[in-house]
Amino acid sequence: MLLVTACPFVPIRIALPRCPSDRPVCMIPAATDQSDDAERGREQARLLAAMARGDKSALARLYDSLSGPLYSLAFRVTNNTADAQDIVQDVFLQMWHKASTYDTGRGSVFGWATTLTRNRAIDRIRLRKRRTEILAESGTDLQPAPFPGEQDSAASLWVQEKAGAVQLALAQLAPDQKQAIELAFFGGLTQAQIATQFNEPLGTIKARIRRGLLKLRETLPARL
Amino acid sequence: MITEHQDELATLHALGLLEGAEKNAFETELAANAELRALTASLGETSAAISLAAPQVVPPAALKARLLAAVDERPEAKILNFPLLNLAPWALVATLAIAATWLGTQYITLRKENANLRSERQLAEVAYKLSQNQLAERSLLAESMINDLGNKLRHNEDLARLKVTALASLAGNTKEAQVIAVWDPEQQTGLLTMEKLPAIADTQDYQIWIVDPAYKNPVNGGVFHISADGKVALAFKPDQPVAQVAAFAISLEKKGGVPKAEGPIVLLGK
């Protein structure tokens, strides 16, 4: 972890990716430009503020910025395009209506939008009671689709870059840590269900998740 | 200072793995612990980043248009989702201002009404006093009228009650005499007016007699003497109670009168 100063008053934390402990040598993407990330976060906050004032063009721009990762998340959890579309639309509508309640001190716009999307998606799969089947159907076999006609957009490039960083960071986790976190995050399983899945004590699962997420936190940038 | 347990709970919370009482307890602790709050927020960002590990899928182009159309369809939702809590202080101030204005208006109105009521009360008191005075005056007047009426009635009764009798001359020297006797049976008194009654010697007196059937002899009504002009008006009272006057008589008796008529009867009236 390094601390550099982009301006005399604002220290920015930079996380350097590391190789998994079991692999002495690995490919590490180029270090993320933290100033760009911070500026992107601020721009999204500005768009949300404009939405709070009723600026519909701000909503369109925020959609351009976040719809890809949010839709991908919704689809990853539900494995259903209609559900994913409904969820993304609902999330953006909720952000449109609740924009004035957003507090920058409680996290990034991306974090807020992701939480809303994930919660809605998990609610859907819990309603359908097909969690296990969906996990079996999707998971690692799902092939990412390209961004047709948008490969050169700033948003898609940013997502691709960050997705690579996150996938690499997850890859650095121990397999059982990675799997436990993915079951919780994408599968919406409870602690007890994960413990059952692994056939291990609950305390072990909690400790495993804790260690895995803390390691991810050290590896990933503070805010995407 | 974050404990290992808090660290674990923050991790589970960031991944949405806390439920029920455990979640509530942690969020209560979170509200009171800034350091724990910062850690949880940081872990929340890390958790959100995991979403980027999902295979990237392109949302359909129509979704954006659908979203923007949905925003247009429900403009009123902006109003519904307005942060009312942010307006609460202003609403409170506005409410207080309205309430103060209303109370002020009510105060002025009530004050005016109070002044009007006071004036009306004062006027009513004056009117009451006037009425009382008028009533008292009328009472006095009525009392006076009643008294007058009573007096008149009594007078009429008196007149009705009185027995007036003209006495006729029985002697030759009293032909021109005019004598009237008025008798009040209630008071047992009488009045005698006489003119042109002949004068008599100093050794004699006229004596009045009241004839009452209840007595064997006429009742003595007293004596009198006539001066030279022959005019006299005198009150008389019998020396015994008289129940019914049958006649008045005047006799000529010796000086000082007699208990029982002895002399000649000079005047008689029934």
Query: pLDDT value at position B258?
Result: 92
Overall average pLDDT of the A139-146 stretch: 45
**pLDDT tens-digit series, residues A93-114:** 999 999 988 887 778 899 999 9
Query: pLDDT value at position A207?
Result: 92
**pLDDT of A171 above 50:** yes
10-residue stretch averages of pLDDT, chain B, 270 residues long: 87 89 89 88 89 89 90 60 70 90 92 91 90 83 80 73 83 76 88 83 89 91 79 85 90 90 87
**In whole angstroms, what is the distance from residue A99 CA to residue A81 CA?**
26
The single residue listed with the structure tokens 């990853």 is: A76
Choose the weakest-confidence range: A46-55, A124-133, B205-214.
A124-133
Read off the pLDDT band of A143 (50, 70, 90). Answer: very low
Interface of A with B in 83-102 (CB under 8 A): 84-85, 88-89, 92-93, 96-98, 100-101
The ipTM estimated for the assembled molecules is 0.75
Query: pLDDT value at position A131?
Result: 52
- Contact at CB, B8 and A207, closer than 8 angstroms: yes
Contacts of B242 (CB under 8 A, 6+ apart): B183, B185, B188, B210, B212, B214, B219
- A47 closest CA partner among A113, A106, A105: A113
How many CA atoms are closer than 13 Å to the CA of A89, on its beta-carbon side? 18
**pLDDT tens-digit series, residues B198-248:** 888 888 888 999 999 999 899 999 998 876 666 778 888 998 999 888 999
Read off the pLDDT band of A130 (50, 70, 90). Answer: low
- Collect all residues of chain B within an 8 Å Cβ-Cβ radius of residue A120: none
Does B41 touch chain A if contact means CB atoms closer than 8 Å?
Answer: yes
From A7's Cα to the closest Cα of chain B, the distance in A is: 22
Does B50 touch chain A if contact means CB atoms closer than 8 Å?
Answer: yes
**In whole angstroms, what is the distance from residue A113 CA to residue A96 CA?**
11
**In whole angstroms, what is the distance from residue B123 CA to residue B196 CA?**
72
From A115's Cα to the closest Cα of chain B, the distance in A is: 7
**pLDDT of A152 above 90:** no
Query: pLDDT value at position B162?
Result: 83
For A180, phi then psi, to 5°, come to -65, -40
Read off the pLDDT band of A155 (50, 70, 90). Answer: low
**In whole angstroms, what is the distance from residue A206 CA to residue B14 CA?**
13
**Closest CB from B14, B45, B51 relative to A222:** B45
The single residue listed with the structure tokens 């972890």 is: A1
Does B38 touch chain A if contact means CB atoms closer than 8 Å?
Answer: no
- Contact at CB, A98 and B60, closer than 8 angstroms: no
Contact criterion met (CB below 8 Å) for A98 and B72: no
- Collect all residues of chain A within an 8 Å Cβ-Cβ radius of residue B77: 93, 97
The DSSP line for A137-205 is HSGGGPPPPP-TTTTTSHHHHHHHHHHHHHHHHHHTS-HHHHHHHHHHHTT---HHHHHHHHTS-HHHH
Choose the weakest-confidence range: A46-55, A91-100, A144-153.
A144-153
Interface of B with A in 76-95 (CB under 8 A): 77-78, 80-83, 86
Query: pLDDT value at position B202?
Result: 84
Q: Suggest the residue from B47, B51, B79, B86 to mutate for an interface test with chain A (most A CBs closer than 10 A).
A: B51
In angstroms, the Cα distances linking B207 to B88, B192, B210, B235, B263 are 122, 12, 10, 13, 9
From A35's Cα to the closest Cα of chain B, the distance in A is: 17
Model-level pTM? 0.52
In total, the C-beta contacts within 8 angstroms joining chain A to chain B are: 181
C-alpha dihedral, B80 to B85 to B90 to B96, nearest 10°: 100
Query: pLDDT value at position B60?
Result: 92
**pLDDT tens-digit series, residues A16-50:** 344 444 443 333 344 445 667 778 888 889 999 99
**pLDDT of A222 above 90:** no
